[in-house]
Structure 1
Amino acid sequence: MRHATWSAIHGNEAAMRLYRSYRHLPEPIRAPARWVVAPIWQTACALVRRRTGDEVLTGPFQGMKLHLSPVSSRHLLGYLLGTQELELHPIIEAVIQSGYRSVINVGVADGYYAIGFARRMPATHVIGFEGLPEHHEPFWRTARTNGVADRITMHGFCDIADLQKALAETNSRSLVLCDIEGGEKVLLDNEKIPELNHADILVETHDGLVAGCSKTLLQRFSETHDITSIYARPRAARDFPAKKLPVIAKWLPRTAVELMNERRTGVQEWLFMTSRQPANKEASS
């Protein structure tokens, strides 16, 4: 479904009641209903999935096999297109070249970053946290498909004690990658977790869900980190991998752009915070 369509439904009480009733229907009924209601959208999504073969087409994780959840495979095709969070691509490449021995990914979801980093950084161990158990089995299937399962450790929900333990067990400076829908305001607290002062942090902030996330993190880490703010921008036709999906680019240009829509509300911001302080064990060496 197009994001504009969903926004219209979400803003209409009667439409939301109808949508909730639809959600209670069994999947064998819902699946054909989606094709009746949105045939162009469903056709475009099917073309992307068929052309990619569950393999990321472009971007820093090009070539990675990715088994998306059913919801992501219908609404977040940017992962397979390689355009998801393309504003971060230069930072992702910098991270890959950095030589981190550990990446701690809080909020693994479908595994795009955890598995992507493991593929591109063969000397790195990835520690993942994902609070939704339904993501774990497909995550491990994807990790095995990409041949990186032996370099990933996976846990459930991450609290302050869990993150502190993960940081304390690393042997050198780590990257903390955090996307937890507003929970970052509580979790990334360098007074409670002083080890964060020695780590680099890439965090997606969610001011629309929890007010003051970005401001709070900027205040906490301004004395210990160099901080870069990155803001999302609307997708354009030039972002679409037209050479690899020429049919969609030529015949469904508006849908091509909509396929890259990341379904965000408000202005999305990320903070890339690089520590000015060496990791404890590096400092003592």
Structure 2
Amino acid sequence: MRQATWNAIEGNPAVMRIYRSYRQLPEEVRAPARWLVAPLWHTACALVRRRATDAVLSGPFQGMKLLLSPVSSRHLLGYLLGTQELELHPIIEMVIRQNYGTVINVGVADGYYAIGFARRMPSTRIVGFEGLPEHHEPFWQTARMNGVADRIRVEGFCDTADLQNALAAAGPRPFVLCDIEGGEKALLDNSRIPELNQADILVETHDGLVPGCTSLLLERFGKTHDITSIYARPRSARDFPSDKLPFLAKWMPRTAVELMNERRTGVQEWLFMTARSGPGRDTSP
């Protein structure tokens, strides 16, 4: 579904009620209905999935096998295209160069980052947390497909004690990646988890869901970390992996750009926070 279409649905209460009723229909009814309503979109999605064959086509995790959830495979094709959160690509490469002993990923979801880091950082241990149980079995299937399941541990919902225990066991150079839809405001509290002061952290903030989240994290970590704010930007044809999908790029250029749209509301922002104490780090992009 195009972002403009979804915005129109969200903005109209009557249409939103119809959409919720549609969501209650069985999948065997909804699937053909989706194709009838948006044939161009679903044709483009099918082309991407066929070309990718469950592998990321570009970006820092190119070649990684990735089994997307049904919703992601229809609406978040940026993961397979390799363009998802492309603003973070320089940071990802920087993290890989640091060769951290442990990466802690809070909010594993489909496993894009947890498995991607495991593939690119073969000497690193990955500790993940994912509060939605339905993600766990597909995640492990994907980890096994990539041959990294033996270096990953994934648990359920992450609370303060869980994160503190993971950091305490991580050794002197942990890296924390956090994307939990606003939960970061409560979880990333260095007054309750002092071990965070020695960790490097990349966190997506969600002020649209939890107002004041970004400013509070800046206040908490401003004395212990060097902080860089990273903002999302609109996608363009230059971002699309045209060499992998030349037909789509040439004949459906607007749809190609829309496929990379990440369907966020408000301003998407990340904070990359590097601890001032601890071993020296290469912080060049």
| TM-score (ref. length: structure 1) | 0.97
Residue 125 of structure 1 is matched in structure 2 by 125
Q: Distance in 2 between matches of 1:169 and 1:233?
A: 37
Q: What per-residue deviation string (whole Å, max 9, x for no partner) do you get for residues 224-244 of structure 1? A: 111011000000010001111
Residue 217 of structure 1 is matched in structure 2 by 217
Q: Distance in 1 between matches of 2:170 and 2:265?
A: 36
Q: Distance in 2 between matches of 1:171 and 1:88?
A: 25
Superposed, 1:30-49 pairs within 5 Å as 30-49=30-49
Residue 198 of structure 2 is matched in structure 1 by 198
Q: Distance in 1 between matches of 2:17 and 2:79?
A: 30
Residue 135 of structure 2 is matched in structure 1 by 135
Cα offset, 1:267, TM superposition:
1.0
The answer as to whether partners of 2:118 and 2:126 remain within 8 angstroms in 1 is: yes
The answer as to whether partners of 2:9 and 2:16 remain within 8 angstroms in 1 is: yes
What percent of counterpart residues are identical? 78
Cα offset, 1:195, TM superposition:
0.2
Residue 72 of structure 2 is matched in structure 1 by 72
Cα offset, 1:99, TM superposition:
1.1
| TM-score (ref. length: structure 2) | 0.97
Between the two proteins, the alignment pairs up a number of residues equal to 279
Q: Distance in 2 between matches of 1:13 and 1:266?
A: 19
Q: What per-residue deviation string (whole Å, max 9, x for no partner) do you get for residues 201-225 of structure 1? A: 0000000100111100111011111
Cα offset, 1:172, TM superposition:
2.1
Is the counterpart of residue 3 in structure 1 residue 16 in structure 2?
Answer: no
Q: What per-residue deviation string (whole Å, max 9, x for no partner) do you get for residues 58-114 of structure 1? A: 000000000000000000000000000000000000000001000000000000000
Cα offset, 1:273, TM superposition:
0.3
Q: Distance in 2 between matches of 1:84 and 1:10?
A: 23
Residue 283 of structure 2 is matched in structure 1 by none
Q: Distance in 2 between matches of 1:21 and 1:171?
A: 50
AA matched with 2:210: V
Residue 13 of structure 2 is matched in structure 1 by 13
The answer as to whether partners of 2:172 and 2:198 remain within 8 angstroms in 1 is: no
Superposed, 1:166-177 pairs within 5 Å as 166-177=166-177
Residue 236 of structure 1 is matched in structure 2 by 236
Q: Distance in 1 between matches of 2:105 and 2:171?
A: 17
The answer as to whether partners of 2:101 and 2:171 remain within 8 angstroms in 1 is: yes
Q: Distance in 2 between matches of 1:213 and 1:188?
A: 10
AA matched with 1:140: W
Q: Distance in 1 between matches of 2:261 and 2:219?
A: 31
Which portions of structure 1, spanning 4 or more consecutive aligned residues, are displaced by more than 4 angstroms? Answer: none
Cα offset, 1:159, TM superposition:
0.3
Residue 147 of structure 2 is matched in structure 1 by 147
Which stretch has the larger CA shift, 192-201 or 166-175?
166-175
Q: Distance in 1 between matches of 2:138 and 2:68?
A: 8
Q: Distance in 2 between matches of 1:171 and 1:105?
A: 15
Q: What per-residue deviation string (whole Å, max 9, x for no partner) do you get for residues 18-67 of structure 1? A: 11111111101110110000000000000000000010000000000000
Is the partner of 1:177 in helix, strand or coil? Answer: strand
CA RMSD, 1 decimal: 0.7
Q: Distance in 1 between matches of 2:15 and 2:243?
A: 38
- Where in structure 1 are there 5+ consecutive unaligned residues? 280-285
Residue 283 of structure 1 is matched in structure 2 by none
Q: Distance in 2 between matches of 1:158 and 1:254?
A: 39
Residue 282 of structure 1 is matched in structure 2 by none
AA matched with 2:171: N
Residue 112 of structure 2 is matched in structure 1 by 112
